[in-house]
Structures are given as C-alpha cells and as structure tokens.
Amino acid sequence: MDDAHYVEHGFDGDVHVLRIANPPVNTLRTGVRAGLLNGIQRCVKEGARAIVLIGQGRLFSGGAEMTEFNKPRQPPSLPEVFEAIETSKIPIVAAIHGSALGGGLELALVCHARVATPTAMVGLPEVKRGFVPGAGGTQRLPRLIGPEAALKIIVSGEPVRADEAVKLGFIDAIIEGDLERGAIAWAREAAKSGRKFTLARDRSDKIEGADLAAFDGAAAALLKRSRGQESPKGCAAAVRAALTHSFTDGLLFERQQFQRLVEGEQSFALRHIFFGEREVARIPGMPEDTKPMPVKNAVVIGGGTMGGGIAMNFANAHIPVTIVEMTEDALARGLAKCDANWQRTVQGGKLSQAEYEKRRACLKGSTDWNVVREADIVIEAVFEDMGVKKEVFAKLDALARPGVVLASNTSTLDIDAIASATKRPELVCGMHFFSPANVMRLLEIVRGKASSHETIATAMDVGRRINKVNVVVGNCDGFVGNRMTGKRGPQLEKLLLEGALPADIDRVMETYGMAMGPCATGDLAGLDIGAAVRKARGTVAPIADALVAAGRFGQKTSKGWYLYDEKRARHADPEVERIIVDMAEKMQVRRRKIEDQEILERMLLPMVNEGARILEENIAARAIDIDVIFANGFGWPAWRGGPMFFADRMGLKNVRDKLAHYAETTNDPNLKPAALIEKLAAEGGSFSGNGTRKAA
C-alpha cells in the first residue's frame, strides 16, 4: 500500500486536511510517516493557508508501530516528519478525538496548536512498554506545562482527558460537535487573525529557574511505586534533562534513554505481555463467524465480596445489573459495600459524583429470584461448595429464559459437574473473576465439555465490555492460575524446613518484583482458608498447619507468618521461627543456609513445570495465555513477562536440568520435568515458539 493510502489529503477552501488512515489505531508506521511528509509538502505547494491533521476512525493515533522496533527502520524517520512540521510557515493544527497516545501525542505536541473533543484522552504510556517517549515527548511536554506536571504524566503513563489537558496547557481548545469541521473553522480563524504560535521547542517560560531539588523530590515519590522497574527512572531522567540541557541536547539524551531501554529485557517482557493481551482475544478453533448473544442486563447471584465486585463491573460499564441475595440484611450489606467502594473513589478524586450516580442507578438488588427471568446473563458467586453450586444452577436453569448463559465464578470446581445440574450444559461456562473483582483485570473464562462457541463468545464479549482481560481456559482443578500457584506450596514448606524463614522467601520474591511474597499473601488471604482447602483435599502442610493450630490465621488475627501492628505492618516473629525449627527437628531435617537464587528457582520452577503440563493437556492454548493470566491476576510484574517467559529466557535445557536436580535433592516427584519441557529442551525450542494448539 502506498503512502497516499495511509494519509488522505482533503481541503475546505484554503484549509487543507491530512487524515491518518491506518486502522484500527493509526500507528505511525513507515507509510504513515511518508504520507505525512508528502502531504505537508503538497499542502504547501497547493497554497494552503492552514493544515488540520486528524485521525480517521475511532482515534487520532495510538503511537509508534512497535512491530517495527526490531526491524531496520525505513525512511522517513519521525524526527524528519517533525522537522517538516516545525519549519512549516503554514500553521498545522492537530485535531484529536478518541485518544492521542505515545508517538501520537508527540506528533500533536510538535504541531503549532492542538484542539480536541471534550472526552479525548491524551498521554505518553511508553513507560508501560518498558521505554521512554522517544520522539521528544519528555522535552516538549515540560516546556508546555511545567516539569512536575509533565513528570507525573510521563512516569505514570496514565492518560488525561482533553478538558484537563486544556487546564494544564497542552491542548489549546475544546471543539464541541463535529471535530473536523470545528478544527477547520478554528484553524481558518487563527490564520485569518494572524495569530502567532510559539512551538513547544521554543518555549522556555515553564522551565526557566526550575527548582531541581523540588523536582528530584517529586520524582523520588513517584518512583517509589515502581520498585525494580527501569523505565520510570529513565523517564524521570529524561524529563530532568529538559531542565538542564538545551532542547537539542535534551532530545539526544532522551533518544539514548529510549535506545538503551527498548533493547533491554524489561521492555521485551512488557511488549510480550502487551501483544499477548491482544493475542488471547483470538480463540483457537472458534469459527470466525461466531457471534455473541446480546446482553443488555445481568443478574449476579450472591452479594458478598466477590458478587458485589462482579456487579460493580457491570454498573461501571453502565450495564444494568441486579444482585440477588437470600435475605434483606445480606442484600443491604452487599449494596452498602458497593456504595462504600465507589464513595472512596469519589473522595479520592478519581470518580465524579455525577458518574457515581450514573453507575449507582445501574445497580439494583432483590431477594426475589424471579428477576432471573429477565436476565440476559446470570453469574453465580455463592459459597465454593459443589453441592451449593449445583443447587443454585438447577434453580437458575428453571428460571432463566431459553438461550441465556449461566456462568459460575468458581475458582477451582468442575464446570462440567456444575453444568450437569442443568438442562442447558451448552450454555454453562466459568467466569472466574479475581479479588477484588471490581479492580483486578483478569477474567478466566472456563470452557466446559459442552460449552458452545456462542457461550464462550458471549462471555468474552461481556468481559470485554466490562474492561477485563479475558483468557479462555480448559476445565480442571484450579484451572490455570490457581493450579500453578498451588504447586509451589510443597517447595515453600521444604524451604522453610531446610533453613529459610518467611522473611527470606518473601524478600526474594518481592525483590524479583512480586507485589507480595507467598507468606505475606497467605496472611492476607487467611491461613485458615488454606488449611480448610487442604483438609478437603486430604493434603498437609506441616508448618502452615501448625501455625493455624496455634491460632495464627494471618492479618485477621494480627498474627500468621508474621506479627501485624495496628497499621497492618508486618514484623518477623521469633515464635514462628521456633515453630519452624521444632518441626524441622521433629521431621529430622538438617537446616542450612539457602541462597537467594535457589529460593527463587524453587518458587518459580514448580509453576513453570505445571504450566508445561497445562499446555500438554490443552487447558491453556498457548504459553502467552499463561503469562497474561499471571501478569493480570497474580501480581506477577509485567516487566518480568510471566512464568513461561521466565523459563524461555532461562533456557529450557537449563530449566529441565534444574527441575531434575530439585526433584532429586528435595524428593519431590512433582518436579520431574514435564514431557513438553523434555521435548522442547531436546529440540532447543521454547514455549513461545511452540505454536498454537487447537482448542478442544
């Protein structure tokens, strides 16, 4: 496709329009860059008095074409396009709708002026891909809005609405109604009046005399939230360069930071997850013409922590939803918890009162199960007990209209067994939300043996509409995420018996980047809950069970693996060490010093091994599905790429050998390398290169 197809040229009298036409997100690929450069030259040649630059479709531009990063860059470069804009004697006005992100916003910042629709979003999210803005964003934005405001936008990577951008000073005007018509009129008036524009690169008023100590303090506060990640530091350093360097030298510094980070392991991992979140939307084996069933309203059975959170997702997306509870008291508690969650967000300034009222109007409650008759989808979120689940599904089957999907929020139970309680097993699936359900992005959609393509497509569509990252998984105990994390438990106990302490294990895992180590996570969830699960399954964890027997249930009792103060800060407890040492003596285990690398490997490799078995069994279709699950639901840092990415970077021959070593030295047959690892190691292969399996 030639560059004329990527950038359309139109005009309205003496105001010319260049429309970026690279669907779906108008990335700045080679053809777009060439089209912009040629378009500007043509506008000049044809006597344009002003130029409006706009995006076709749903947004202005999503930024750089990341698939070009690992290829030789073809001319023209983005700086060449920017030079043509900044040296143009004709004012060029960026007209933004939808969003202008990354290189898309950098393109707009180069223009002489920027106008936008009221709800357009603008931002520089490069930090979330592991690098810094590489086309002048860290140098131009501080010159327009000041260093600390720019720092916050660039280090967080979070977009802001156009109306907020007007207040900050990098959007010049809001256009109501038709954006292109309004932008043309605005540009014509500006040209006619002889309005003088000062390019961002020529501005110095916002950065002159900047207080570097204050800037460094603001940067340090922001960087506390990104422990271990390199790109936020690079972003802060690049913005600081705008205060200490000339514009030209600042651009050079920014580019050096970009090049260093984009070639690094963390950026590779973040882009692995970024593209993976798009890949998991493609379901192997599903016919392309499969259509989801329409869902205009939902019913959630159960108003507890999970049920209330699930219902909030629908209300947040302005989809009417009704919570069904057994008693008025339980219903009132559930609705009050939803209200409290929303009100905290309002008080924190992240949700307007008007938007809260709109969401609240979408949420209703009832103790009358007959409301199920009107539902387009029903999601069960009751106690995790098979007998209870079957009873609920039999009741739902009798009440719900024919053709309505019935979904279970179970985290471990057999979807096929649940479906057997109905006369519509083809319309039953799992929709496993993660706690807190109104916050966590992951949604495991569990396909049962009988689940139809339309059922899965409907669950996927609903998940997309309520802003979840959906991953389709097969039916087994624990599905993907819980099944894999469950396999590290035996090694946790063995490490403690052999010489580690809870603080050692948590420190290693948190240094790796996990939000919380496994012991701290256990205390948060409740050690008594884990003990109940083990009892039901007939398994034991000697040390954890001893803690529970001593009344140490975790944060709820202010003592578990740790002691907790009134602020819930954790502290090592000598009593826990005594319990561990006594258990080691009782089991005749000789304690020793265990190095951090061994702790890391023994915590992660059991999950990798189980992930390989999950791929063998087709519970997950692709390795990237597993990595996306862990990055979005289990606190695995996206900049580490996920467990299967970890294994690929370690090398599967090394993974195989380490697993075999630990299987022998710890007497854990579960660590015997999975057949898929043996096969790929022998072939010199990787999980990422293993291809896509067909869905069952």
Residue-wise burial string across 228-259, b where 16 or more C-beta atoms lie within 10 A, e elsewhere: ebbbbbbbbbbbbbbbebebeebbebbbbbbe
Task: Tell which residue, 342, 343, 349, 344, has the closest CA to residue 311.
Answer: 342
Give 11's strand partners. 16
* 126 has catalytic annotation: yes
* C-alpha to C-alpha distance for 13 and 450, rounded to whole angstroms: 62
Strand blocks (E) in 381-496: 405-408, 428-433, 442-446, 469-473
Token code pair at residue 194: 């002889």
Token code pair at residue 295: 């869902």
Active-site residue among 106, 380, 454, 498? 106
CB 660 within 8 A of CB 668: no
Token code pair at residue 271: 């882009």
Print the SS3 string covering 285-349. CCCCCCCCCCCCCEEEECCCHHHHHHHHHHHHCCCCEEEECCCHHHHHHHHHHHHHHHHHHHHCC
Crossing angle for the helix pair 247-262 and 265-279, nearest 10 degrees? 70
Strand 363-366 vs strand 321-324: parallel, antiparallel, or unpaired?
parallel
* C-alpha to C-alpha distance for 688 and 677, rounded to whole angstroms: 12
Token code pair at residue 452: 């139809």
Determine if the peptide bond prior to 436 is cis (ω within 30°).
yes
**Virtual CA dihedral for 6, 11, 15, 17, nearest 10 degrees?**
-20
CB 183 within 8 A of CB 95: yes
DSSP string covering 56-99, please?
STT-SB----GGGTTSPPPSSPHHHHHHHHHT-SS-EEEEE-SE
* 384 has catalytic annotation: no
Active-site residue among 8, 46, 65, 126? 126
618: region left, alpha or beta (phi > 0 left; psi from -120 to 50 alpha) = left
* C-alpha to C-alpha distance for 474 and 451, rounded to whole angstroms: 11
197: region left, alpha or beta (phi > 0 left; psi from -120 to 50 alpha) = beta
Task: Tell which residue, 235, 184, 243, has the closest CA to residue 211.
Answer: 243
Token code pair at residue 563: 């002691």
Q: How many angstroms separate the first and last alpha carbons of the chain?
A: 38
Residues annotated catalytic, as ranges: 106, 126
